[in-house]
């Protein structure tokens, strides 16, 4: 579940570079959330 959220947020962030700079701060916030989810998943070490 966490990997799915991570991948979706990462794709949305990457699309932000082509969509435009209007929503850029929101997309960078999504990247931060994706990285936090990844770190939590790595620390917990659970396989879902």
pLDDT in tens, the chain (48 residues): 778 888 887 787 777 666 666 666 777 787 788 888 888 888 887 665
pLDDT at position 21 is 65
3-42: b (≥16 Cβ within 10 Å) or e: eeebeebbebbeebeeeeeeeeeebeebeeebeebbeebe
Query: What pLDDT was estimated at residue 23?
Result: 63
pLDDT for residue 36: 87
CB of 40 within 8 A of CB of 2? yes
> What does the alpha-carbon distance between residue 13 and residue 29 come to, in Å, rounded to a whole number?
9
Question: How large is the C-alpha radius of gyration of the chain?
Answer: 12
pLDDT for 48 equals 54
């Amino acid at each position: 579940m966490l990997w799915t959220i991570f991948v979706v947020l990462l794709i949305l962030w990457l699309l932000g570079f082509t969509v435009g700079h209007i929503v850029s701060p929101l997309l960078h916030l999504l990247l931060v959330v994706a990285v936090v989810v990844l770190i939590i998943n790595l620390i917990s070490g659970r396989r879902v």
